[in-house]
Amino acid sequence: MNTRRKFLQQAATLTMGATLLNKSSWANSFMTDAPLPAPGIQLFTLFNDMDTDTLGTLKKVAAAGYINIESAFSKQPGFYGKQPKEFRTLLQDLGMQWRSHHVAGAPLKLPPGYKLPLGPDGQPMKFPPMKNLRDNSQEMVDLVAESGIKYIVCANIPIDTVDEIKEAAAILQKTGEQAKKAGLQLVYHNHASEFNKVGDLVSYDYFLTQLSADILKMELDLGWVFRAKKNPVAIFNQNKGRFPLIHVKDMDAAGNIVPFGTGSFDFKETFQHMDAAGLKYYFLEQDFPKNPLEDIKTSIQNFEKFKKTL
């Protein structure tokens, strides 16, 4: 029996269907364009500040408008000298949410000729021995699981030879299985070198094909992808839904990492295809900026302007 209610439901369905066929309609845009997550920051941008004044620095991060936090290794034990639940509570008290944490995949190996940046004392930074996934994967997985966050991110791992690439894949496989059992998701963060061909292998492609999507997902660092002259949208489309995390890193024409919106990269097309990526969180980042507390304000202000152009 056709009731008035059924008639109205059918009419609404037909009307919506006709509207959705019109690609330029306001309704189509409203219903298909998911809003971007709240602004996020990778705390490696504030490496020295986080070690010298953790609370004061986080207050400034919150005041700048950042909500989602991705932590990094530091020169202090644990999470900037704090236990997992303690650090999480600190962020929540400041109105922020802890989403992911970066760890080393293996003992630090600097590229040939690379010089560590200067610390506050004007001397090259010194890194203490850090635990890593090669040697301490279960311990690190357990520590991150205690924090209550979802993502543990391999920040870097040696990939300069075919043997290193294969060893890296084995480390990621083992850690990914451990992370899955602990209720975590292992994610891999790239630099430009992952897109270089080493022997017959390209490490980024190798990781994607050798490890299943439930074991390893990716945090695409857009700055390094652009530096490698690759197209992020093509990478998304080839591996749909495998990129829950994104690093937003801008660079000038000389390759210097600069605040978002002051460099030479065009991010618009990439952010118009985040549905293919499977984006959950993005994090603005700079590596060792000279004026980090000023730069993070510039970056978020420019990003808020950028969002309005999408």
**φ and ψ of 220, to 5 deg:** -80, 120
β-partners of residue 186 are 152
The model's pTM is 0.87
**φ and ψ of 261, to 5 deg:** 90, -5
More confident residue, 30 or 76: 76
Query: Domain-by-domain residue ranges, the chain?
Result: 36-112+129-307
CA–CA dist 2, 284 (Å, integer): 55
Give the CA distances from residue 84 to residues 50, 100, 112, 127, 185, in Å, rounded to whole numbers and listed in that order. 16, 12, 35, 21, 17
What's the pLDDT at 18?
42
CA–CA dist 251, 256 (Å, integer): 5
Burial of 30 (0-12, 13-18, 19+ CB in 10 A): exposed
Write down the CATH number for the domain with range 36-112+129-307: 3.20.20.150
Could you report the per-residue pLDDT of 227-284, keeping only the tens digit for each?
999 999 999 999 999 999 999 999 999 999 999 999 999 999 999 999 999 999 999 9
